[in-house]
Amino acid sequence: MTENNTESNSLVPIQNTSIVKAGNLIKITNKLVFNEIENIFNEAFYLINSKHFQRNSENFCFLIQYNSKYLNDRKFKDYEANSDEDYEKAIELFSTVIIKQPSFKYAYYLRGIAKDHLKDYKGAISDYTKTIEIDPNFENAYFYREGAKLLLVDIDWDKLIG
């Protein structure tokens, strides 16, 4: 039997040691890169999506960082939480992530989305702008920032008219 094969009729599966080593290296790298933010970020991400999916063990922090198309998944298009309290808690958690890892663009971006939902458009614009400063090629941040600017203008018009 070669190292690349597993014996299917064995009571104890024999794994390819190269794959196990690579898996362990990914876990170690992931811990080094995300340090202590992983669980905090995952909880915040769940909260801003809590209306559409159940709590699970997916590592959103890892998936989002290493798969640029992950956030474009249809289930995340609306970022709908069950309540305003979920958005508020998510903002607190994303803020904690930012304190621990100030260059993590996704924490700013998603905190901006939570602020958007709470109609804190100035705060959202600030977070989207910071996301763009970190990564000028992050197209979604431009899109959401422009949307928040339009909503902010609408609110100012309401004050002038009303």
pLDDT digit string, tens, across residues 43-92: 999 999 988 877 777 888 888 888 878 887 766 668 899 999 999 999 99
Note the pLDDT of residue 12.
Answer: 52
Asked whether residue 22 carries a pLDDT value surpassing 60, the answer given is no
**Domain ranges, ordered by start, for the chain:** 17-161
Q: Which residue has the tokens 């474009």?
A: 72
| Nearest residue to 87 via CA among 141, 49, 56 | 49
CA–CA separation, 86 and 111 (whole Å): 12
CA–CA separation, 149 and 115 (whole Å): 13
For residues 123-144, average pLDDT: 97
Q: What is the dihedral of CA 71, 74, 75, 81, to 10 degrees?
A: 80
Element (H, E) at 69: none
Radius of gyration over every alpha carbon of the chain, rounded to an integer in angstroms:
20
Which of 15 and 1 is assigned the larger pLDDT? 15
For residues 20-46, average pLDDT: 68
DSSP string of 13-65?
PPPPHHHHHHHHHHHHHHHHHHTTTHHHHHHHHHHHTTTTS------HHHHHH
* Alpha-carbon distances of 114 from 27, 76, 78, 107, 160, rounded to whole Å: 29, 13, 11, 11, 26
Classify the C-alpha dihedral 31-27-92-102 as positive or negative: positive
**Which top CATH class is 17-161?**
mainly alpha
CA–CA separation, 55 and 127 (whole Å): 26
CA–CA separation, 118 and 85 (whole Å): 10
